[in-house]
Structure 1
Amino acid sequence: MNTTLQYRNELKFFVHPHQYMILRQRLKHLMKQDKHVGPTGEYHIRSLYFDDLNNKALHEKLGGIRDRSKYRIRIYNKEDSIIHFEKKIKFRDYIAKVKFPLTRDMYDSIIAGNYEVLHHPDHALMMEIYHEMNHNLLRPKVIVDYVREPYVCENGNVRITFDKELRTGLHAIDVFDRNLKPVRAIDENLMILEVKFDEYLPAYIQTALQLEGLNRQSASKYVMCRKFLKYNTWEDY
Protein backbone atom coordinates (compact mmCIF):
# COMPACT_ATOMS: atom_id res chain seq x y z
CA MET A 1 0.00 0.00 0.00
CA ASN A 2 1.21 3.52 -0.80
CA THR A 3 1.43 5.08 2.66
CA THR A 4 1.56 8.64 1.31
CA LEU A 5 -2.12 8.33 0.37
CA GLN A 6 -4.94 8.45 2.87
CA TYR A 7 -6.76 5.16 2.39
CA ARG A 8 -10.27 4.69 3.70
CA ASN A 9 -12.77 1.88 3.99
CA GLU A 10 -15.71 2.02 1.60
CA LEU A 11 -18.86 -0.10 1.80
CA LYS A 12 -21.70 0.10 -0.72
CA PHE A 13 -25.30 -1.10 -0.58
CA PHE A 14 -28.43 -0.88 -2.71
CA VAL A 15 -31.38 0.38 -0.67
CA HIS A 16 -35.11 0.53 -1.38
CA PRO A 17 -37.27 3.50 -0.31
CA HIS A 18 -38.56 1.86 2.89
CA GLN A 19 -34.99 0.92 3.90
CA TYR A 20 -33.88 4.47 3.16
CA MET A 21 -36.58 5.96 5.39
CA ILE A 22 -35.61 3.71 8.31
CA LEU A 23 -31.87 4.31 7.95
CA ARG A 24 -32.26 8.04 7.41
CA GLN A 25 -34.40 8.34 10.53
CA ARG A 26 -31.74 6.54 12.57
CA LEU A 27 -28.73 8.36 11.15
CA LYS A 28 -30.03 11.90 11.38
CA HIS A 29 -30.09 11.53 15.17
CA LEU A 30 -26.51 10.21 15.29
CA MET A 31 -24.71 12.21 12.62
CA LYS A 32 -24.59 15.73 11.22
CA GLN A 33 -25.42 16.70 7.67
CA ASP A 34 -22.52 17.74 5.49
CA LYS A 35 -22.02 21.52 5.58
CA HIS A 36 -22.27 21.79 1.79
CA VAL A 37 -25.88 20.66 1.50
CA GLY A 38 -28.58 22.98 0.26
CA PRO A 39 -32.02 23.67 1.77
CA THR A 40 -33.21 20.16 0.84
CA GLY A 41 -30.30 18.52 2.67
CA GLU A 42 -28.78 17.40 -0.63
CA TYR A 43 -26.47 18.53 -3.40
CA HIS A 44 -26.06 17.52 -7.02
CA ILE A 45 -22.99 15.73 -8.39
CA ARG A 46 -22.06 15.33 -12.03
CA SER A 47 -18.90 13.50 -13.10
CA LEU A 48 -17.30 12.88 -16.46
CA TYR A 49 -15.48 9.54 -16.40
CA PHE A 50 -12.49 8.76 -18.58
CA ASP A 51 -11.14 5.46 -19.84
CA ASP A 52 -8.40 4.44 -22.23
CA LEU A 53 -8.51 2.86 -25.68
CA ASN A 54 -8.95 -0.62 -24.19
CA ASN A 55 -11.51 0.45 -21.58
CA LYS A 56 -9.11 -0.69 -18.89
CA ALA A 57 -11.03 0.79 -15.93
CA LEU A 58 -14.29 -0.78 -17.08
CA HIS A 59 -12.86 -4.23 -17.73
CA GLU A 60 -10.80 -4.30 -14.53
CA LYS A 61 -13.93 -3.59 -12.50
CA LEU A 62 -16.01 -6.15 -14.41
CA GLY A 63 -13.17 -8.66 -14.11
CA GLY A 64 -12.93 -8.30 -10.34
CA ILE A 65 -9.41 -6.85 -10.31
CA ARG A 66 -8.97 -5.64 -6.73
CA ASP A 67 -6.23 -3.05 -7.26
CA ARG A 68 -7.29 -0.51 -9.85
CA SER A 69 -7.91 3.18 -10.51
CA LYS A 70 -10.07 5.47 -12.60
CA TYR A 71 -10.14 9.13 -13.60
CA ARG A 72 -12.98 11.65 -13.60
CA ILE A 73 -13.81 15.34 -13.71
CA ARG A 74 -16.38 16.32 -11.09
CA ILE A 75 -18.61 19.37 -10.55
CA TYR A 76 -21.27 20.23 -8.00
CA ASN A 77 -24.76 21.69 -8.47
CA LYS A 78 -24.06 22.16 -12.20
CA GLU A 79 -21.79 25.12 -11.40
CA ASP A 80 -18.22 25.84 -12.51
CA SER A 81 -17.01 27.40 -9.26
CA ILE A 82 -15.48 24.04 -8.24
CA ILE A 83 -14.11 21.69 -10.91
CA HIS A 84 -11.80 18.85 -9.94
CA PHE A 85 -9.89 16.29 -11.95
CA GLU A 86 -9.74 13.23 -9.71
CA LYS A 87 -8.04 9.87 -9.58
CA LYS A 88 -9.81 7.29 -7.45
CA ILE A 89 -7.58 4.43 -6.34
CA LYS A 90 -8.78 1.04 -5.11
CA PHE A 91 -6.37 -1.13 -3.07
CA ARG A 92 -7.87 -4.34 -1.70
CA ASP A 93 -10.83 -3.16 0.40
CA TYR A 94 -9.56 0.40 0.70
CA ILE A 95 -9.94 3.54 -1.40
CA ALA A 96 -8.00 6.76 -1.79
CA LYS A 97 -8.57 9.85 -3.87
CA VAL A 98 -6.18 12.48 -5.20
CA LYS A 99 -7.28 15.51 -7.16
CA PHE A 100 -6.39 18.94 -8.47
CA PRO A 101 -8.57 21.93 -9.39
CA LEU A 102 -9.36 22.95 -12.94
CA THR A 103 -10.35 26.37 -14.17
CA ARG A 104 -13.28 26.56 -16.56
CA ASP A 105 -10.86 27.46 -19.36
CA MET A 106 -8.75 24.37 -18.62
CA TYR A 107 -11.87 22.21 -18.59
CA ASP A 108 -13.05 23.65 -21.91
CA SER A 109 -9.63 22.97 -23.43
CA ILE A 110 -9.67 19.34 -22.30
CA ILE A 111 -13.16 18.80 -23.72
CA ALA A 112 -11.97 20.34 -26.99
CA GLY A 113 -9.09 17.83 -27.10
CA ASN A 114 -6.30 20.21 -26.09
CA TYR A 115 -4.50 18.21 -23.41
CA GLU A 116 -1.46 20.49 -23.29
CA VAL A 117 -3.16 22.41 -20.47
CA LEU A 118 -2.26 19.42 -18.28
CA HIS A 119 1.42 19.51 -19.12
CA HIS A 120 2.86 20.70 -15.80
CA PRO A 121 6.13 18.85 -15.07
CA ASP A 122 6.05 19.94 -11.42
CA HIS A 123 2.66 18.28 -10.80
CA ALA A 124 2.74 14.47 -10.69
CA LEU A 125 -0.99 13.77 -11.15
CA MET A 126 -1.39 16.25 -13.99
CA MET A 127 1.57 14.70 -15.79
CA GLU A 128 0.20 11.20 -15.17
CA ILE A 129 -3.13 12.10 -16.78
CA TYR A 130 -1.36 13.97 -19.59
CA HIS A 131 0.67 10.82 -20.27
CA GLU A 132 -2.44 8.64 -20.21
CA MET A 133 -4.18 10.92 -22.70
CA ASN A 134 -1.26 11.02 -25.11
CA HIS A 135 0.02 7.43 -24.88
CA ASN A 136 -2.99 5.33 -23.84
CA LEU A 137 -5.67 7.52 -25.44
CA LEU A 138 -7.50 8.24 -22.20
CA ARG A 139 -10.74 9.87 -23.31
CA PRO A 140 -14.14 10.95 -21.91
CA LYS A 141 -16.56 8.01 -21.86
CA VAL A 142 -19.72 8.80 -19.92
CA ILE A 143 -21.37 11.37 -17.67
CA VAL A 144 -22.60 10.09 -14.31
CA ASP A 145 -25.23 12.25 -12.63
CA TYR A 146 -26.98 11.92 -9.25
CA VAL A 147 -28.24 13.67 -6.11
CA ARG A 148 -26.43 13.04 -2.82
CA GLU A 149 -27.73 13.22 0.75
CA PRO A 150 -24.63 13.16 3.03
CA TYR A 151 -24.08 12.63 6.76
CA VAL A 152 -20.79 12.98 8.63
CA CYS A 153 -19.35 12.01 12.01
CA GLU A 154 -15.99 13.05 13.45
CA ASN A 155 -15.54 9.76 15.32
CA GLY A 156 -13.76 7.54 12.81
CA ASN A 157 -14.10 10.28 10.17
CA VAL A 158 -17.29 8.61 8.96
CA ARG A 159 -19.18 9.75 5.90
CA ILE A 160 -22.47 8.11 4.93
CA THR A 161 -24.28 9.11 1.76
CA PHE A 162 -27.51 8.22 0.02
CA ASP A 163 -27.03 8.65 -3.74
CA LYS A 164 -30.33 9.07 -5.56
CA GLU A 165 -31.61 9.29 -9.13
CA LEU A 166 -28.52 7.83 -10.78
CA ARG A 167 -28.52 8.97 -14.40
CA THR A 168 -26.27 8.65 -17.42
CA GLY A 169 -25.48 11.37 -19.92
CA LEU A 170 -25.45 8.75 -22.70
CA HIS A 171 -23.03 9.95 -25.40
CA ALA A 172 -22.66 13.51 -24.08
CA ILE A 173 -19.23 14.49 -22.69
CA ASP A 174 -19.78 18.11 -21.59
CA VAL A 175 -20.94 18.33 -17.96
CA PHE A 176 -21.97 21.96 -18.53
CA ASP A 177 -24.13 21.23 -21.57
CA ARG A 178 -27.36 23.17 -20.92
CA ASN A 179 -29.28 20.81 -23.18
CA LEU A 180 -28.07 17.67 -21.42
CA LYS A 181 -30.97 15.49 -20.31
CA PRO A 182 -29.46 12.47 -18.53
CA VAL A 183 -31.64 9.38 -18.29
CA ARG A 184 -32.14 6.91 -15.46
CA ALA A 185 -29.44 4.25 -15.26
CA ILE A 186 -30.91 2.33 -12.32
CA ASP A 187 -34.30 1.15 -11.11
CA GLU A 188 -36.27 4.22 -10.01
CA ASN A 189 -36.79 2.76 -6.55
CA LEU A 190 -33.12 2.06 -5.83
CA MET A 191 -30.57 4.29 -4.12
CA ILE A 192 -26.91 3.63 -3.40
CA LEU A 193 -25.81 3.80 0.22
CA GLU A 194 -22.09 4.44 0.70
CA VAL A 195 -20.32 4.15 4.04
CA LYS A 196 -16.78 5.55 4.23
CA PHE A 197 -14.55 5.65 7.29
CA ASP A 198 -10.88 5.64 8.30
CA GLU A 199 -9.76 3.01 10.81
CA TYR A 200 -13.01 2.20 12.55
CA LEU A 201 -16.78 2.54 12.33
CA PRO A 202 -18.28 3.51 15.70
CA ALA A 203 -20.42 0.76 17.23
CA TYR A 204 -23.52 2.95 17.46
CA ILE A 205 -23.35 3.64 13.73
CA GLN A 206 -22.79 -0.05 13.00
CA THR A 207 -25.92 -0.79 15.01
CA ALA A 208 -27.91 1.87 13.14
CA LEU A 209 -26.92 0.32 9.82
CA GLN A 210 -28.12 -3.16 10.76
CA LEU A 211 -31.24 -3.80 8.70
CA GLU A 212 -32.76 -6.98 7.34
CA GLY A 213 -32.19 -7.31 3.62
CA LEU A 214 -29.32 -4.83 3.53
CA ASN A 215 -26.47 -6.60 1.76
CA ARG A 216 -23.12 -5.25 0.67
CA GLN A 217 -22.81 -4.75 -3.10
CA SER A 218 -20.19 -3.92 -5.68
CA ALA A 219 -22.00 -0.83 -6.91
CA SER A 220 -19.89 1.12 -9.41
CA LYS A 221 -21.79 4.11 -10.79
CA TYR A 222 -19.36 4.27 -13.71
CA VAL A 223 -19.99 0.65 -14.68
CA MET A 224 -23.77 0.97 -14.28
CA CYS A 225 -23.86 4.00 -16.55
CA ARG A 226 -21.56 2.39 -19.13
CA LYS A 227 -23.59 -0.82 -19.13
CA PHE A 228 -26.81 1.16 -19.52
CA LEU A 229 -25.23 2.92 -22.48
CA LYS A 230 -24.28 -0.40 -24.05
CA TYR A 231 -27.62 -2.11 -23.49
CA ASN A 232 -29.75 0.80 -24.63
CA THR A 233 -27.79 2.33 -27.50
CA TRP A 234 -25.93 -0.71 -28.87
CA GLU A 235 -22.58 0.78 -27.97
CA ASP A 236 -19.64 -1.57 -28.33
CA TYR A 237 -17.13 -1.61 -25.50
Structure 2
Amino acid sequence: MNAGLKYRHELKYYMNRGQYEVMKRQLRGLLAQDKHAGASGDYHIRSLYFDDIDNKALHEKLAGVRDREKYRIRIYNRSDKVIHLEKKIKFNDYVSKVKESLSRELYDSIMAGNYEPLHDPSRPLLAEFYYQLKNRLLRPRVIVDYEREAYVCGAGNVRITFDKQLRTGLNQVDIFNPGLATIRAFDDDITVFEVKFDEYLPEYVRTAIQTGGLVRQSNSKYVICRKLIKFNSWEDQ
Protein backbone atom coordinates (compact mmCIF):
# COMPACT_ATOMS: atom_id res chain seq x y z
CA MET A 1 0.00 0.00 0.00
CA ASN A 2 1.27 3.48 -0.91
CA ALA A 3 1.27 5.38 2.37
CA GLY A 4 0.92 8.68 0.51
CA LEU A 5 -2.53 7.78 -0.83
CA LYS A 6 -5.89 7.92 0.89
CA TYR A 7 -7.64 4.55 0.69
CA ARG A 8 -11.37 3.98 1.15
CA HIS A 9 -13.76 1.09 1.47
CA GLU A 10 -15.86 0.42 -1.62
CA LEU A 11 -18.92 -1.85 -1.61
CA LYS A 12 -20.77 -2.71 -4.84
CA TYR A 13 -24.19 -4.20 -5.48
CA TYR A 14 -26.67 -4.78 -8.30
CA MET A 15 -30.28 -3.79 -7.71
CA ASN A 16 -33.48 -4.03 -9.72
CA ARG A 17 -35.94 -1.19 -10.20
CA GLY A 18 -37.97 -2.04 -7.11
CA GLN A 19 -34.90 -2.25 -4.87
CA TYR A 20 -33.68 1.06 -6.26
CA GLU A 21 -36.94 2.84 -5.45
CA VAL A 22 -37.00 1.47 -1.88
CA MET A 23 -33.34 2.27 -1.21
CA LYS A 24 -33.66 5.77 -2.59
CA ARG A 25 -36.64 6.52 -0.35
CA GLN A 26 -34.79 5.18 2.69
CA LEU A 27 -31.60 7.14 2.16
CA ARG A 28 -32.50 10.41 0.45
CA GLY A 29 -33.92 11.89 3.67
CA LEU A 30 -30.74 11.01 5.57
CA LEU A 31 -28.10 12.07 3.06
CA ALA A 32 -27.38 15.24 1.12
CA GLN A 33 -27.61 15.18 -2.66
CA ASP A 34 -24.34 15.50 -4.53
CA LYS A 35 -23.60 19.10 -5.51
CA HIS A 36 -23.04 18.13 -9.15
CA ALA A 37 -26.60 16.86 -9.61
CA GLY A 38 -28.75 18.59 -12.20
CA ALA A 39 -32.44 19.41 -12.01
CA SER A 40 -33.33 15.74 -12.48
CA GLY A 41 -31.06 14.71 -9.62
CA ASP A 42 -28.66 12.93 -11.97
CA TYR A 43 -25.56 13.81 -13.93
CA HIS A 44 -23.96 12.03 -16.86
CA ILE A 45 -20.56 10.32 -16.67
CA ARG A 46 -18.57 9.08 -19.63
CA SER A 47 -15.21 7.38 -19.15
CA LEU A 48 -12.65 6.13 -21.64
CA TYR A 49 -10.70 3.21 -20.20
CA PHE A 50 -7.18 2.27 -21.25
CA ASP A 51 -5.41 -1.08 -21.11
CA ASP A 52 -1.99 -2.29 -22.18
CA ILE A 53 -0.94 -4.62 -24.98
CA ASP A 54 -1.60 -7.65 -22.75
CA ASN A 55 -5.00 -6.41 -21.52
CA LYS A 56 -3.52 -6.53 -18.03
CA ALA A 57 -6.31 -4.61 -16.26
CA LEU A 58 -8.97 -6.82 -17.83
CA HIS A 59 -7.25 -10.14 -17.11
CA GLU A 60 -6.30 -9.22 -13.53
CA LYS A 61 -9.89 -8.35 -12.71
CA LEU A 62 -11.20 -11.56 -14.29
CA ALA A 63 -8.56 -13.59 -12.43
CA GLY A 64 -9.46 -12.00 -9.09
CA VAL A 65 -6.08 -10.33 -8.54
CA ARG A 66 -6.59 -8.25 -5.40
CA ASP A 67 -3.98 -5.53 -6.01
CA ARG A 68 -4.40 -3.81 -9.36
CA GLU A 69 -4.79 -0.47 -11.13
CA LYS A 70 -6.34 1.03 -14.24
CA TYR A 71 -6.35 4.32 -16.10
CA ARG A 72 -9.25 6.27 -17.56
CA ILE A 73 -10.19 9.69 -18.91
CA ARG A 74 -13.51 10.97 -17.56
CA ILE A 75 -15.90 13.76 -18.51
CA TYR A 76 -19.22 14.97 -17.11
CA ASN A 77 -22.45 15.87 -18.90
CA ARG A 78 -20.73 15.38 -22.29
CA SER A 79 -18.80 18.62 -21.79
CA ASP A 80 -15.09 19.36 -22.19
CA LYS A 81 -15.11 21.92 -19.37
CA VAL A 82 -13.84 19.29 -16.92
CA ILE A 83 -11.64 16.47 -18.22
CA HIS A 84 -9.82 14.23 -15.75
CA LEU A 85 -7.13 11.64 -16.22
CA GLU A 86 -7.64 9.17 -13.38
CA LYS A 87 -5.72 6.22 -12.01
CA LYS A 88 -7.82 3.92 -9.84
CA ILE A 89 -5.88 1.72 -7.44
CA LYS A 90 -7.21 -1.39 -5.69
CA PHE A 91 -5.36 -2.74 -2.64
CA ASN A 92 -7.02 -5.68 -0.88
CA ASP A 93 -10.51 -4.38 -0.02
CA TYR A 94 -9.52 -0.74 -0.30
CA VAL A 95 -9.53 1.69 -3.22
CA SER A 96 -7.81 4.96 -3.96
CA LYS A 97 -7.88 7.37 -6.87
CA VAL A 98 -5.35 9.85 -8.24
CA LYS A 99 -6.41 12.38 -10.85
CA GLU A 100 -5.09 15.26 -12.96
CA SER A 101 -6.95 17.78 -15.08
CA LEU A 102 -6.52 17.65 -18.84
CA SER A 103 -7.18 20.38 -21.36
CA ARG A 104 -9.20 19.57 -24.47
CA GLU A 105 -6.03 20.20 -26.47
CA LEU A 106 -4.10 17.64 -24.44
CA TYR A 107 -6.92 15.11 -24.73
CA ASP A 108 -6.95 15.57 -28.51
CA SER A 109 -3.18 15.13 -28.58
CA ILE A 110 -3.42 11.82 -26.69
CA MET A 111 -6.11 10.54 -29.02
CA ALA A 112 -4.01 11.52 -32.05
CA GLY A 113 -1.12 9.44 -30.71
CA ASN A 114 1.07 12.41 -29.79
CA TYR A 115 2.07 11.64 -26.20
CA GLU A 116 5.02 14.02 -25.79
CA PRO A 117 3.00 16.82 -24.09
CA LEU A 118 2.36 14.36 -21.24
CA HIS A 119 6.09 14.08 -20.51
CA ASP A 120 5.98 16.59 -17.66
CA PRO A 121 7.92 15.65 -14.48
CA SER A 122 6.08 18.37 -12.54
CA ARG A 123 2.83 16.43 -13.03
CA PRO A 124 3.61 12.87 -11.85
CA LEU A 125 0.41 11.20 -13.05
CA LEU A 126 0.81 12.61 -16.56
CA ALA A 127 4.44 11.47 -16.63
CA GLU A 128 3.39 8.01 -15.44
CA PHE A 129 0.66 7.84 -18.07
CA TYR A 130 3.23 8.85 -20.70
CA TYR A 131 5.46 5.97 -19.61
CA GLN A 132 2.57 3.51 -19.81
CA LEU A 133 1.57 4.71 -23.28
CA LYS A 134 5.12 4.54 -24.61
CA ASN A 135 6.44 1.41 -22.87
CA ARG A 136 3.38 -0.72 -22.05
CA LEU A 137 1.53 0.33 -25.22
CA LEU A 138 -1.43 1.48 -23.16
CA ARG A 139 -4.27 2.26 -25.56
CA PRO A 140 -7.96 3.29 -25.36
CA ARG A 141 -10.17 0.20 -25.13
CA VAL A 142 -13.76 1.02 -24.27
CA ILE A 143 -16.17 3.81 -23.38
CA VAL A 144 -18.31 3.38 -20.25
CA ASP A 145 -21.38 5.57 -20.11
CA TYR A 146 -24.08 6.03 -17.42
CA GLU A 147 -26.29 8.38 -15.42
CA ARG A 148 -25.30 8.85 -11.77
CA GLU A 149 -27.49 9.78 -8.80
CA ALA A 150 -25.28 10.47 -5.80
CA TYR A 151 -25.64 11.28 -2.10
CA VAL A 152 -23.08 12.18 0.54
CA CYS A 153 -22.78 12.17 4.33
CA GLY A 154 -20.08 13.84 6.42
CA ALA A 155 -20.12 11.07 9.06
CA GLY A 156 -17.64 8.51 7.82
CA ASN A 157 -17.18 10.55 4.63
CA VAL A 158 -19.81 8.36 2.98
CA ARG A 159 -20.66 8.63 -0.70
CA ILE A 160 -23.51 6.57 -2.15
CA THR A 161 -24.13 6.33 -5.88
CA PHE A 162 -26.85 4.84 -8.06
CA ASP A 163 -25.41 4.33 -11.54
CA LYS A 164 -28.17 3.82 -14.09
CA GLN A 165 -28.52 3.09 -17.81
CA LEU A 166 -25.04 1.62 -18.13
CA ARG A 167 -24.01 1.66 -21.79
CA THR A 168 -20.89 1.25 -23.88
CA GLY A 169 -19.69 2.55 -27.24
CA LEU A 170 -19.42 0.07 -30.08
CA ASN A 171 -15.75 0.07 -31.06
CA GLN A 172 -15.61 3.83 -30.68
CA VAL A 173 -13.25 5.63 -28.33
CA ASP A 174 -13.85 9.36 -28.84
CA ILE A 175 -15.79 10.49 -25.79
CA PHE A 176 -16.69 13.77 -27.51
CA ASN A 177 -18.13 12.18 -30.63
CA PRO A 178 -21.68 13.66 -30.86
CA GLY A 179 -22.76 10.69 -32.96
CA LEU A 180 -21.43 8.07 -30.55
CA ALA A 181 -23.48 4.89 -30.86
CA THR A 182 -23.99 3.06 -27.58
CA ILE A 183 -25.70 -0.14 -26.47
CA ARG A 184 -27.14 -1.11 -23.11
CA ALA A 185 -24.89 -3.20 -20.89
CA PHE A 186 -27.79 -5.00 -19.16
CA ASP A 187 -30.93 -6.56 -20.61
CA ASP A 188 -32.89 -5.75 -17.47
CA ASP A 189 -33.33 -2.40 -15.76
CA ILE A 190 -30.35 -2.91 -13.43
CA THR A 191 -28.76 -0.19 -11.28
CA VAL A 192 -25.21 -0.44 -9.99
CA PHE A 193 -25.25 0.67 -6.35
CA GLU A 194 -21.94 1.68 -4.75
CA VAL A 195 -21.09 2.68 -1.20
CA LYS A 196 -17.75 4.35 -0.45
CA PHE A 197 -16.59 5.38 3.01
CA ASP A 198 -13.48 6.02 5.09
CA GLU A 199 -13.28 4.68 8.64
CA TYR A 200 -16.81 3.50 9.27
CA LEU A 201 -20.25 3.14 7.70
CA PRO A 202 -23.14 4.73 9.64
CA GLU A 203 -25.50 2.11 11.03
CA TYR A 204 -28.56 3.49 9.21
CA VAL A 205 -26.80 2.99 5.87
CA ARG A 206 -25.72 -0.54 6.80
CA THR A 207 -29.25 -1.36 7.95
CA ALA A 208 -30.78 -0.07 4.71
CA ILE A 209 -28.45 -2.30 2.69
CA GLN A 210 -29.27 -5.34 4.81
CA THR A 211 -33.04 -4.83 4.79
CA GLY A 212 -32.94 -4.23 1.03
CA GLY A 213 -31.74 -7.80 0.51
CA LEU A 214 -28.69 -6.65 -1.42
CA VAL A 215 -25.79 -9.04 -1.97
CA ARG A 216 -22.31 -7.61 -2.37
CA GLN A 217 -20.85 -8.10 -5.85
CA SER A 218 -17.39 -7.88 -7.34
CA ASN A 219 -18.51 -6.05 -10.44
CA SER A 220 -16.54 -3.82 -12.78
CA LYS A 221 -18.17 -1.50 -15.30
CA TYR A 222 -14.99 -1.72 -17.35
CA VAL A 223 -15.13 -5.52 -17.59
CA ILE A 224 -18.89 -5.55 -18.24
CA CYS A 225 -18.46 -3.18 -21.16
CA ARG A 226 -15.35 -4.90 -22.53
CA LYS A 227 -17.38 -8.09 -22.81
CA LEU A 228 -19.81 -6.32 -25.11
CA ILE A 229 -17.25 -5.37 -27.74
CA LYS A 230 -14.79 -7.32 -29.80
CA PHE A 231 -11.95 -8.39 -27.53
CA ASN A 232 -9.12 -7.46 -29.91
CA SER A 233 -10.56 -4.23 -31.28
CA TRP A 234 -7.41 -2.16 -30.69
CA GLU A 235 -4.78 -4.86 -30.46
CA ASP A 236 -3.07 -3.93 -33.70
CA GLN A 237 -2.89 -0.19 -33.07
Mapped partners of 1:218, 1:70: distance in 2: 16
1:55 and 2:32 are equivalent in the alignment:
no
Q: Map 1:29-48 to 2 at 5 A.
A: 29-48=29-48
Contact map agreement 1:165 1:188 (CA 8 A) in 2: no
Question: Which residue of structure 2 aligns with residue 66 of structure 1?
Answer: 66
Please list the CA deviations of residues 49-73 of structure 1 after superposition, one character each: whole Å capped at 9, or x if unmatched.
0000000000000000000000000
- Tell me the amino acid that sits aligned with residue 117 of structure 1: P
Residues 31 and 151 in structure 1, CA contact (< 8 A), matched pair in contact too: yes
CA contact (8 A) 1:230 1:236 kept: no
Aligned-pair distance for 1:112? 0.7
The superposition leaves residues 20-68 of structure 1 with CA deviations (integer Å, 9 ceiling, x where unpaired) of 0100000011101001100000000000000000000000000000000
- Kept in 2, the 8 Å contact 1:158–1:196? The answer is yes
* 2:157 matched residue in structure 1: 157
After superposition, the C-alpha distances for 1:48-107 in whole angstroms (9 at most, x for unaligned) are 000000000000000000000000000000000000000000000000000100000000
Q: For 1:65-214, what aligned pairs fall within 5 Å after superposition?
A: 65-214=65-214
**Pairwise CA distance, 1:210:** 1.8
Assess if the C-alpha contact under 8 Å between 2:8 and 2:95 holds in 1.
yes
Once the two structures are superposed, residues 128-173 of structure 1 have per-residue CA deviations (whole angstroms, 9 ceiling, x without a partner) of: 1100100110000000000000010000000000000000012111
Q: Helix, strand or coil: the match of 1:229?
A: coil
Q: How far apart are the structure 2 equivalents of 1:84 and 1:4?
A: 20
Q: 4+ residue stretches of structure 1 with deviation over 3 A?
A: 234-237
When structure 1 is superposed on structure 2, of 182-191 and 142-151 the one drifting more is 182-191
Tell me the SS of whatever aligns to 2:211. Answer: coil
Q: CA deviation at 1:126?
A: 1.1
Offset of 1:185 from its aligned partner? 1.2
Structure 1: distance between partners of 2:170 and 2:65: 26
Q: CA deviation at 1:212?
A: 4.8
Q: Which TM-score applies when normalising by structure 2? A: 0.96
Identity %: 59
Q: TM-score, normalised by structure 1?
A: 0.96
In structure 1, what is the equivalent of residue 228 of structure 2?
228
Post-superposition Cα deviations, 1:197-237, rounded to whole Å, max 9, x if no partner, equal 00100111111222353100011000000011148xx8698
Q: Size of the alignment, in residue pairs?
A: 235
Matched position secondary structure for 2:167: strand
Unaligned ranges ≥5, structure 2: none
> How many Å apart are 1:122 and its aligned residue?
2.1
In structure 2, distance between residues paired with 1:148 and 1:44: 6
Contact 1:52 1:139 in 2 (8 A): yes
Q: CA deviation at 1:123?
A: 2.0
In angstroms, what is the RMSD of aligned CA positions?
1.4
1:8-23 alignment runs, 5 A limit: 8-23=8-23
